[in-house]
Each structure stands twice: as C-alpha cells, then as structure tokens.
Amino acid sequence: MSRAWVAPEIIEEGLVTGRWMVEIHNNDTNTFDEVIEALMRATGCGTEEAFLETWEAHTYGKAPVHFADRHECEIVAAMIAMIGVRTTVRPEWEE
C-alpha cells in the first residue's frame, strides 16, 4: 500500500467520495497460505504485506487490505471472497 494519503471529499447530502477500503474478516476455514495467496493475487501486494494483513485479521478479527476507489475495491473484495473469506467494502473514513 504505497499510495499517497488522500483525504475523502464530502459532497452534498452527506455522500462520501474519495478512498474506499476492503476489509477481510477472520474465519476458521481458510489457511494462512490461502489468504496470503488470495491477497497477493487480488491486491498485487508482496508476501510480507499479505502475511501481516492475514495475521492482523486472525488476531483482531478483521484487517484493512486495500484502499482505492469504490469500483476497484468491489473488484478486489470479490476476488478475495472467491476463496470464502468474508469481505467488507466501505468508505475509508466511515464512522
């Protein structure tokens, strides 16, 4: 995740634009290796980053794994979900 930080923009009617995020949620079904491989394929990250994100989801129940526009995040989430990992796509700064 080497992209520069960009603050979301607030527009009329309280809609949020800007960066969205994909979170993965821990489960008791997938192995670390399966999740690491899925993250690398879906996000293009390296082994170390994928391992850290997988460990974070395992340890804390969920982990942010990708930041982009909404459309890209939905594609990434769908790719990860193909192996059975639950994903959430939401604005980065959602309360």
Taking only the tens place, the pLDDT of each residue in 37-82 is 999 999 999 999 999 999 999 999 999 999 999 999 999 999 999 9
Q: State yes or no: pLDDT of 4 exceeds 80.
A: no
Residue keyed to tokens 């980065």: 92
Where along the chain do its domains lie? 27-91
d(CA 27, CA 8): 30
Percent of the chain whose pLDDT exceeds 90: 78
d(CA 23, CA 15): 20
Does the pTM of the predicted model rise above 0.75? yes
Q: For position 17, what pLDDT does the model report?
A: 60
